[in-house]
């Protein structure tokens, strides 16, 4: 089922699949993605679970207000909680987040630990610790935001896909690469620009000094070809009391797309554990 719910100035679009009596899990996509990012994982999990995948502000079919606060982590987190608890009646649920969605999932688990049953973070971080480095990232994100506003989504996607972070996608099945590009091209320039400015890694607070307080069972997943995020995941797993790490061989930053069978199996097994 595809749903659209008005929440103040925003209209949130989401998918709600699987048995209503099944344990709920929420899937949060990354920057330039949408709920369609999770098509294969949704198919796996929805056989026994209620799976809700959400278009985050600035992406897919979700329409947020014109003000930057509507695109912030705080607003996006409130949107997820209102949808799940108040609208769908799911008072406890699992969270799976990739990249930007992983940063949001971590923020939610720290802000609402009693609501989160289990947490899966794929290619995610706790933000940027150093103030100067965070300021540099904000400046870099501002430059990208100005580029997409002036040059449009097609030019931005062409530039975004040249990021070395995505080099491992070169061997991906052409049909999957084409679908990934179609998802990215459906974004609006205004939505991407506001998301960069309000929810980029430079805009979010540093969460690393709060990881020791995280009590939610946590699975960290990274692709072996993504050295940066393997390092970040190893550091985070040491800081979180109830965490473990899975490195997926032959995958890079988008492990769920590059090695879906391995990724889906690891996530499903973790969520099914008592």
Q: Domain for residue 168, yes or no?
A: no
pLDDT in tens, 228-266: 999 999 999 999 999 999 999 999 999 999 999 999 999
pLDDT at 66: 84
CATH classification of the domain holding 108: 3.40.50.1820
pLDDT at 10: 86
| Residues 53 and 15 sit within 8 Å (Cβ to Cβ) | yes
**Residue 30 to residues 4, 122, 200, Cα–Cα distance (Å):** 20, 10, 11
Residue 140 CB burial class (10 angstroms; 0-12, 13-18, ≥19) = middle
Q: In what order do the strands lie in the sheet with 218-223?
A: 2-7, 10-17, 50-54, 24-28, 93-98, 116-122, 218-223, 243-248
Q: Domain for residue 250, yes or no?
A: yes
Q: Domain for residue 39, yes or no?
A: yes
Q: Domain for residue 194, yes or no?
A: no
The answer, yes or no, to whether residue 182 has pLDDT greater than 90, is yes
pLDDT in tens, 138-164: 999 999 999 999 999 999 999 999 999
Q: Which two tokens stand for residue 255?
A: 């492990």
Q: Domain for residue 155, yes or no?
A: no
pLDDT in tens, 169-181: 999 999 999 999 9
The answer, yes or no, to whether residue 192 has pLDDT greater than 90, is yes
Q: Domain for residue 229, yes or no?
A: yes
Q: Domain for residue 104, yes or no?
A: yes
Q: Domain for residue 158, yes or no?
A: no
How many domains are contained in the chain? Answer: 1
pTM listed for this prediction: 0.97
The answer, yes or no, to whether residue 1 has pLDDT greater than 90, is no
The answer, yes or no, to whether residue 65 has pLDDT greater than 90, is no
Within 13 Å, how many C-alpha atoms sit on residue 103's CB side? Answer: 25
Range of the domain at 92: 2-129+206-272
């Amino acid at each position: 089922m595809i749903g659209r719910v008005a929440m103040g100035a925003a209209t949130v679009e989401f998918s709600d699949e699987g048995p209503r009596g099944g344990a709920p899990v929420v899937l949060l996509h990354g920057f330039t993605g949408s709920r369609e990012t999770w098509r294969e994982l949704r198919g796996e999990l929805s056989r026994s679970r209620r799976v809700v995948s959400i278009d985050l502000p600035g992406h897919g079919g979700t329409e947020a207000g014109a003000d930057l606060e509507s695109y912030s982590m705080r607003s996006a987190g409130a949107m997820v909680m209102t949808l799940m608890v108040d609208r769908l009646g799911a008072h406890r649920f699992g969270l799976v987040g990739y990249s930007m969605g992983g940063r949001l999932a971590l923020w939610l688990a720290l802000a609402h630990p009693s609501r989160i049953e289990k947490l899966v973070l794929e290619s995610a971080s706790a933000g940027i610790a150093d103030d100067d480095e965070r300021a540099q990232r904000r400046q870099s994100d501002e430059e990208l935001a100005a580029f997409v506003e002036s040059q449009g989504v097609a030019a931005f996607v062409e530039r975004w896909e040249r990021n070395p972070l995505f080099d491992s996608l070169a061997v991906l099945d052409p049909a999957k690469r084409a679908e990934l590009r179609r998802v990215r091209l459906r974004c609006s320039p205004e939505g991407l620009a506001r998301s960069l400015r309000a929810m980029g890694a430079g805009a979010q607070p540093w969460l690393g000094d709060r990881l020791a307080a995280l009590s939610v069972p946590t699975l960290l997943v990274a692709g072996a070809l993504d050295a940066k995020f393997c390092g970040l995941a190893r550091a985070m797993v040491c800081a979180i009391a109830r965490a473990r790490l899975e490195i997926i061989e032959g995958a890079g930053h988008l492990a769920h797309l590059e090695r879906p069978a391995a990724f889906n199996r690891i996530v499903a097994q973790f969520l099914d554990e008592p």
